[in-house]
Each structure stands twice: as structure tokens, then as C-alpha cells.
Amino acid sequence: MDKVRIIEIKESVFADNDREAERLRAELKREKTFLLNLMSSPGSGKTTLLMRTIEALKDKLRIGVLEADIDSAVDAEKVATTGVKTIQLHTGGMCHLDAGMTEQGLKELGTADLDLVVLENVGNLVCPAEFDTGAVKNAMILSVPEGHDKPLKYPLIFTVCDVLIINKIDVLPYFDFDLDKVKEYAHMRNPNLKLFPLSAKTGEGMDVWLDWLQQEIKDWNQTT
């Protein structure tokens, strides 16, 4: 009988995933492809925002989309109507994507001729925040009907994101949503978080978001 051994590992469960994500980012850098990870709860308007963003930028940038859902292809079919390359990823019951799954999706999509790939993560404010996908920037959408207390209830996702899009501001008059409060709560979790209040439906505020995204893509391709 072999001797029993104790092997000390002492690292986060996510350490392997974090290393894979770093490697993926370095590859994307070489290929000059910008990967944006878009997260939110279900029904926040992720797909609508994505479609408006694609429509505004598809003549300037070569865009691809990875749609992640537990099941079905309804979002991918909708996004495909914009004419950009789209792939549906099924997580097989899991509530998030990790770097390995993202890499598989990117391989399938083929990124060599793409400037921007948007990963529409599974609709969920908890699990996707735990796993680095290899994205260059993380953005999350919080829609007005969800309420301004979300940064208090789901602090992690606000910590890992670079951008917070407040969507559906066209319905602000009908909801008890305090824009100043959400700014305060979100900055308490992450002082560097950028906030873009907008309405993907009416187009209000979209230009600020689109300017930011285009500038980030430019910076990613320029810096070495």
C-alpha cells in the first residue's frame, strides 16, 4: 500500500480559470480582437442593447457575437438578423461561462478577422461575476425596473465590472428608481466604475456608451 500524501495547494478554486483567462486575453491582444463580456439579470434589455450597438457600429467595425444561454437559441437568432456572425453557446445547465468555454466559442466563431466580439453572458448577477472569461472589459446592465438597491444585494458583479449601463431610463418617471443612489452604492463597491444611463429603446444616452466602447477598442489595438 502506498503511503498517504498530503499535498498543499492553497489557492483559489478560480486560480486555474484566471490563468486560462489571462492566456486568452494575450491571444486576443495579438489578434487585435476586443472581447466585451456583457452581464445582467434576465430581462434587463441585454439583447436589445446589443442589437442597437451592433447596428450603430457594424459599418465601422467587424463584429461577432457569442450568445450564452442555458438552453434555446432565441437570442442568437434575433442577433443574427443584424447580419453579424453569431454563435449560440449552451452551458448545459450551468449558470455562467468560464474562460475555457469562452475560448471554445471564440474558436468556433473565428476571431482573426474580427475587431469586436461581444459575449452575452447567461442572465444572472451572481455566478458570471465569479469567472473571468478572458474579456478585455466587463460591462453590466441594470435596468430601471430592477431597482437601485442591486449594488447592495449583488456586490461582486459591481466590483468586477468596468462599466455599468443603466438601461430603460425612458421609464424612470414610473418607477421608484433613484439614479443618484445607484451611483453612490455602485461607487462604494467600485470607485472606478463608469456609469452610462441610457435607453436602448429610444436611443437616449447611447452615443456616450458607443463613444466609450470605440475608444476602448482603439486603445486595445494601439497599446502594446
Partner 1 sequence: MHELGIVFHIIKTVERVGAENKLVQVSAVTLELGEVSGVVPQELSSCWSWAVKKTELMKEATLEIETIPALTFCEGCQKTYETVQHGRICPLCGSEHTYLVQGNEINLKEIKAH
Sole binder of partner 1 in the list 29, 98, 171, 201 (CB under 8 A): 98
Identity of the residue, 1 or 112, whose beta carbon is nearer to partner 1 in the bound complex: 1
Interface pattern 153-172 for partner 1 (x via CB under 8 A)? ---x----------------
CB 104 within 8 A of CB 24: no
Interface pattern 185-224 for partner 1 (x via CB under 8 A)? ---x------------------------------------
Phi then psi for 112, rounded to 5 degrees? Answer: -55, -35
| Angstrom distance (rounded) from CA 208 to CA 169 | 14
Instruction: Select the span of 122-130, 142-150, 174-182, 209-217 touching partner 1 (CB under 8 A).
Output: 122-130
| Angstrom distance (rounded) from CA 10 to CA 72 | 39
Sole binder of partner 1 in the list 80, 85, 109, 130 (CB under 8 A): 130
Q: Taking Cα atoms as reference points, which of 25, 31, 21 lies closest to residue 221? A: 31
C-alpha cell at 116: 469586436
Does residue 95 belong to the site contacting partner 1 (CB under 8 A)? yes
| Angstrom distance (rounded) from CA 142 to CA 46 | 9
CB 34 within 8 A of CB 24: no
Sole binder of partner 1 in the list 52, 96, 148, 168 (CB under 8 A): 96
Does residue 93 belong to the site contacting partner 1 (CB under 8 A)? yes
| Angstrom distance (rounded) from CA 35 to CA 117 | 5
Residues 44-83 that bind partner 1 (CB under 8 A): none
Instruction: Select the span of 91-99, 109-117, 169-177, 197-205 touching partner 1 (CB under 8 A).
Output: 91-99
Per rule CB under 8 A, count of chain residues that contact partner 1: 29
In the complex, the smallest distance separating the C-beta of residue 16 from partner 1, rounded to whole angstroms, is 5
What is the residue whose three cell numbers read 455566478?
A: 127
Identity of the residue, 51 or 101, whose beta carbon is nearer to partner 1 in the bound complex: 101
Write out the DSSP string of 37-63. EEEE-TTSSHHHHHHHHHHHHTTTS-E
Identity of the residue, 52 or 150, whose beta carbon is nearer to partner 1 in the bound complex: 150
Task: Give CA torsion, residues 68, 70, 76, 79, to 10 deg.
Answer: -60
Does residue 180 belong to the site contacting partner 1 (CB under 8 A)? no
In the complex, the smallest distance separating the C-beta of residue 170 from partner 1, rounded to whole angstroms, is 30
